[in-house]
Amino acid sequence: MFQLGQTTQLIVGATPETDLKILRLSEGLYNKYKLKRVYYSAYIPVNNDENLPAASPPPLLRENRLYQADWLLRFYGFKSEELLNENHQNFNNLLDPKCDWALRNLDKFPIEINTADYFTLLRIPGIGVISAKRIIRARRTFNLNHDELKKLGVVMKRARYFITCGGKYYEHVKYFREGFITENLVSLERRNYKLPINHIQMSLFDLLTPSKEDRVKCLTGSI
């Protein structure tokens, strides 16, 4: 339809759309209208007026999640309904869209690095377009193991939960279980994004607040 690379920009956060709606919109724009790029911008109010949406901190993390999902649509062969659906209308704050998808589809894992095809490799968290291509090139001559994957540029701290090399699971990972993997991936993500931690630091003395009588006892010295 369009001759040149057309682009568009969506402002995120000023109106109440969910991430699902936004992602479906961009998928439609990519597939039907052959757009080159859809850009997302967190809404930053320029003026303060009662008719404008209220000023709150710009949803930068949400913008980031949308870009991550956008890449999954364009280069990784994902479809919008795989990433989000009516039950999950918004992206998970604590996990990137690909990890989130992988954890919801844990039955498809672990994937064998030495036999999986290109698009299956791309679905593994920690493996991107470049490292997937490198794996395909490198394994033509030799079978790969975990150490070599790391050298090829695979992000092992994410990928190690989802792969086997020559039938072997990564030896330092204890369990292939959802709760265990989620916990580890979330703590990685916290470090990257400095996400707030919701629990309160517990102190020994919180539990042992002395009663009034105890304080009196301390002063008088009687037990």
**In angstroms, what CA-CA distances link 134 with 68, 76, 90, 109, 112?**
21, 15, 33, 21, 15
> Hey, which residues does 168 pair with through a beta bridge?
165
When the beta carbons of 124 and 144 are compared against another protein, the nearer one is 144
H or E segment to which residue 23 belongs? helix 19-32
DSSP assigned state of 54: P
When the beta carbons of 22 and 113 are compared against another protein, the nearer one is 113
Instruction: Return the residue matching tokens 């989802």.
Output: 162
When the beta carbons of 85 and 115 are compared against another protein, the nearer one is 115
> Hey, which residues does 9 pair with through a beta bridge?
39
Tell me phi and psi for residue 39, to 5 degrees: -100, 150
Q: How far is the CB of 13 from another protein (least distance, A)?
A: 12
Q: If binding is defined by CB under 8 A, does position 144 make contact with another protein? A: yes
Count of residues touching another protein (by CB under 8 A):
12
When the beta carbons of 142 and 205 are compared against another protein, the nearer one is 142
Q: If binding is defined by CB under 8 A, does position 160 make contact with another protein? A: no
Which of 58, 155, 176, 182 binds another protein (CB under 8 A)? It is: 58
Q: If binding is defined by CB under 8 A, does position 134 make contact with another protein? A: yes
Q: If binding is defined by CB under 8 A, does position 44 make contact with another protein? A: yes
Is residue 165 a contact partner of residue 114, using CB atoms and an 8 Å limit? yes
* Interacting residue ranges for another protein, rule: CB under 8 A: 44, 58, 134, 137-138, 140-142, 144, 148, 151-152
